[in-house]
Structure 1
Amino acid sequence: MPTRRGEFERIRSVLADADDREPLTAREILDLLEAHGESFESAHRVATVLGRREGTDVEVIRDRPYRYRVIDGTD
């Protein structure tokens, strides 16, 4: 399934507002999105969107559970 337009930008924006530098699980990111009034299908969808940006905009920490850090260019 192709990434829906704007999904990554919505995630990036909410994470920037949260100003949290620690890697988060997809569930934690989904909770932040919902707390900011952003509707998202599921934690799985969050993981899919972020996983597709791995290596360019996202660092994926392959632990159990996976954790994600959006790269903003200042790290």
Structure 2
Amino acid sequence: MHARGEYERIKDALDDADVDEPMTAREILRLLDERDEEFESTHRIATVLGREAERGEVEVHRGQPYRYEL
């Protein structure tokens, strides 16, 4: 499965929620759940967003825990 489809689902949910600050994978999963978007796990979200960060689409704020900014 190509991660872009998953990234688009995450991006659309964050855009719809008008998120303007970095979020943890757990916070993103909670937001997706509220919108009835099923996602495997926080680990999967981190993997998808990490790949997009390599392409320059996502900024990763390295801390405990990591936060992701689209």
TM-score w.r.t. length of structure 2: 0.91
Within-5 A mapping of 1:16-35: 16-35=15-34
**1:61: which partner in 2?**
61
Poorly superposed stretches of 4+, deviation over 3 Å: 2-5
Structure 2 stretches of 5 or more lacking a match?
none
Q: Give the % identical residues.
A: 58
Backbone CA RMSD of aligned residues: 1.3
Other-structure match for 1:46: 45
The letter of the residue matching 1:22 is E
Q: Which runs of 5+ in 1 are unaligned?
A: 71-75
TM-score in terms of structure 1 length: 0.85
State the partner residue of 2:14.
15
